[in-house]
Amino acid sequence: MTWLASLLVLLLVPSAWTGAARACSPSDFDEQDFADGAVSSRELAPGLSPAGAAAQAGAWQPAAPMLLARQEVAVAELDGRIYVLGGIDGTPSFLASVEIYDPATDSWSSGPALPVPLHHTTASVVDGKLYAIGGWSDFFATPLDVVFELDPQQGSWVTRSSMPTARGSPAAAVLDGKIYVAGGWPSARARDFAVYDPATDEWQTLADLPSGRNHLGLAAAGGTIFAVGGRTALQAGVGNVADVDAYDPGTDTWSAVAPLARARSGLASVGSASRVFALGGEGSAANPDGTFEDVEAFDLATGSWTPLPDMALPRHGIGAAIVGGRLHVPGGGPIQNFSVTATHDFLDLSALLFPKLPALSLPAVLALAASLGLAARRLRHVASASRDTQRSRH
């Protein structure tokens, strides 16, 4: 009856559930589990809906603030650390500086500065190297076609082949070792979509976005590229869209999928094995500051969006990265247009996979134990009868 005693411990002592889950602990999951498909939405606790799991996942948690408050940043994960590129500070000045967050020490350090100040740029990682593509270095006058590559082992940025067209506020995502860049400004380039192959240092122009937009999100999940939200005008919050379109690299075609709950731009988007996350943004009529706290997850299996816990501080001009099963958002602007924060917080995505199980009351435990004991006796009886039948045949 050792198994029954163990079960009673789990039922009577709520913390034992946590310990049991910790045997394959959420902290054992890293970003590769989410990126490479080792963890999927189908591994949610049986009977627990994504919305129910989200509710149990808890609120956003604070982490070490950035060294410098900034918005309109580009964010990416590289070798378990988070890189934040460029942006705009509170002066406002345009930044070339780079910050690096180490989750192991919950601390920030300065990284190799970009060759030029960049804001509204992108950050992507392929084969251990970091890429910054597009953006502006001025007050929205001259969009750029630049491509800069950082090898952390070398410690300096190098210039690579330029984008086919110059664009500020595009969005980028990585799929199968290639960097896809969509949308941006000026309006004539807002439907542009191209892919960069770092291995060959070559660009290829692809099928245009279904509709032109800038300040959008782009994420890769399940072999598909998703263009999320954005806006049709350069002015903050003007022409926001809730559209989400999916790109199939195999056919070079786009198709519409379920839209966001609310139209927003200046948001962050990042993908995992089975989900696309959309966070924050600007253009909210419901918030006097004009920013969104919304966090949504698109489930590839169901084709629908699920709300996750709201960001503690609504903001725009952000990027996001998943490290160790945690969704991190550093910096951004808490007020529409020009504002900055050094805030850095995270949402524990592993809590979606290992929600805390409820404790049962003592009467419920005793009733369950009695039922299990009865079931065990019946199983022994069936097994004994089966053995007797087999012996009689011989």
**Beta carbons within 10 angstroms of residue 232's beta carbon:** 17
Alpha carbon distance 145, 142 (integer Å): 10
374 in a structural domain: no
Find the CATH number of the domain harbouring 164.
2.120.10.80
Contact 303, 257 (CB under 8 A): yes
What is the per-residue pLDDT for 385?
Answer: 65
What is the per-residue pLDDT for 24?
Answer: 30
DSSP string, 62-108: E-PPPSS--BS-EEEEETTEEEEE--B-SS--B---EEEEETTTTEE
Length of the chain, please? 394
Q: In the chain, how many domains are there?
A: 1
167 in a structural domain: yes
Contact 269, 217 (CB under 8 A): yes
6 in a structural domain: no
37 in a structural domain: no
Tell me the pTM: 0.78
What is the per-residue pLDDT for 17?
Answer: 31
**Beta carbons within 10 angstroms of residue 299's beta carbon:** 18
Minimal CA–CA distance to 282: which of 212, 342, 231? Answer: 231
359 in a structural domain: no
What is the per-residue pLDDT for 163?
Answer: 98
> What does the DSSP 8-state code read for residue 188?
G
What is the per-residue pLDDT for 377?
Answer: 75
Contact 217, 171 (CB under 8 A): yes
255 in a structural domain: yes
61 in a structural domain: yes
Alpha carbon distance 141, 393 (integer Å): 92
What is the per-residue pLDDT for 159?
Answer: 98
> What does the DSSP 8-state code read for residue 115?
S
Sign of the Cα torsion 21, 23, 25, 29 reads negative
386 in a structural domain: no
Q: For residue 221, give its domain range.
A: 57-353
**10-residue block means of pLDDT along the chain (394 residues)?**
41 34 30 34 33 53 98 98 98 97 98 98 98 98 98 97 98 98 98 98 98 98 98 95 98 98 98 96 97 98 97 98 97 97 95 54 68 71 63 59
